[in-house]
């Protein structure tokens, strides 16, 4: 083999090795560059799932800010909890907590009273009449009559909160019972509630929108349904 041929063969091998190395490095760099994109896509998918099969507060806030547009990730789950319309018909013997008093009275065990105040009284306004969670879910007083003289948004929040406490009892809620109680105490008189993790505080109407969605499957009227993927 001539010296020139040996040099040409060596140069060819070096070029081939260099090309392979460059290609490998490009592939590695491309893979690393794509990693954030893949992670972002994975995050969007996980984000849509909320807390397990539920829609948690942070995802709801993002979805609401986008007015329901779901192009950036999979549609968020809705109607994942039993609403007050279902709890009002539950058997108290099967679900004993349905019989827990919504408010406290002298005959109640305070450990079985999730909420405070005396907002819901009978149709005669008697202060000694208290209602259990099932009654509040049904929106009726102790005589089975519909509540009268009660702010609609406040009564709706009470019905939702009563239902959510019962959902917590059976492990079917994205919120804890203490968070549900906090929503009631903070928002019942038109105040605001700050969700876990911080962010903008929710008004009573916004809390009702969230509960309407996860319990009844009702989307807010302001959502842009035509922007869905």
Tell me: do 86 and 143 sit in the same domain: yes
Tell me: do 45 and 61 sit in the same domain: no
What pLDDT score does 32 carry?
A: 39
Tell me: do 36 and 75 sit in the same domain: no
Tell me: do 85 and 116 sit in the same domain: yes
Length of the chain as a residue count? 229
Residue that terminates a domain, selected from 49, 64, 89: 49
Report d(CA 75, CA 46) in Å as an integer: 11
Q: What is the pLDDT of residues 191-206, one digit of tens each?
A: 999 998 778 999 999 9
- Domain assignment of residue 160, given as a range: 51-227
Tell me: do 119 and 26 sit in the same domain: no
Tell me: do 152 and 166 sit in the same domain: yes
Q: What is the pLDDT of residues 159-186, one digit of tens each?
A: 999 999 999 999 999 999 999 999 999 9
Tell me: do 7 and 57 sit in the same domain: no
Q: Among the residues of 150-203, which ranges form H helices?
A: 152-169, 177-187
- pLDDT above 70: percentage of residues in the chain: 64
Q: Quick one: 57 exposed, middle or buried, by C-beta within 10 A (0-12, 13-18, 19+)?
A: buried
Tell me: do 36 and 149 sit in the same domain: no
215 Cα distance to chain centroid: 10
Tell me: do 34 and 131 sit in the same domain: no
Tell me: do 94 and 78 sit in the same domain: yes
Q: What is the pLDDT of residues 67-122, one digit of tens each?
A: 887 666 666 788 899 999 999 999 999 999 999 988 876 666 777 888 876 666 55
- The answer to whether 200 and 169 have CB atoms below 8 angstroms apart is no
Number of domains in the chain: 2
Tell me: do 68 and 45 sit in the same domain: no
What pLDDT score does 107 carry?
A: 65
Asked if the model's pLDDT at residue 150 lies above 90, the reply is: no
């Amino acid at each position: 083999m001539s010296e020139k041929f040996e040099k040409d063969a060596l140069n060819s091998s070096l070029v081939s090795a260099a090309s392979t190395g460059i290609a490998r490095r490009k592939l590695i760099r491309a893979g690393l560059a794509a990693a954030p994109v893949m992670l972002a896509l994975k995050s969007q998918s996980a984000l849509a799932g909320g807390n397990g099969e539920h829609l948690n507060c942070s995802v709801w806030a993002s979805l609401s800010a986008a007015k329901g547009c779901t192009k950036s990730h999979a549609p968020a789950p809705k109607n994942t909890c039993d609403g007050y319309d279902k709890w009002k018909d539950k058997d108290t013997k099967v679900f004993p907590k349905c019989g827990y008093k919504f408010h406290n009275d002298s005959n109640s065990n305070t450990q079985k009273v999730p909420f405070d105040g005396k907002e819901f009284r009978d149709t005669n306004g008697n202060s000694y009449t208290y209602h259990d969670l099932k009654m509040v879910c049904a929106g009726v007083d102790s005589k089975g009559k519909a509540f009268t003289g009660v702010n609609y948004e406040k009564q709706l929040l009470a019905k939702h909160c009563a239902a959510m406490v019962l959902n917590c009892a059976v492990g079917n809620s994205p919120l804890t019972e203490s968070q549900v109680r906090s929503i009631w105490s903070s928002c019942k008189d038109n105040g605001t509630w700050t969700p876990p993790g911080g962010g903008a505080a929710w008004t009573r109407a916004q809390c009702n929108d969230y509960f309407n969605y996860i319990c009844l499957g009702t989307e807010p009227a302001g959502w842009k349904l035509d922007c869905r993927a």
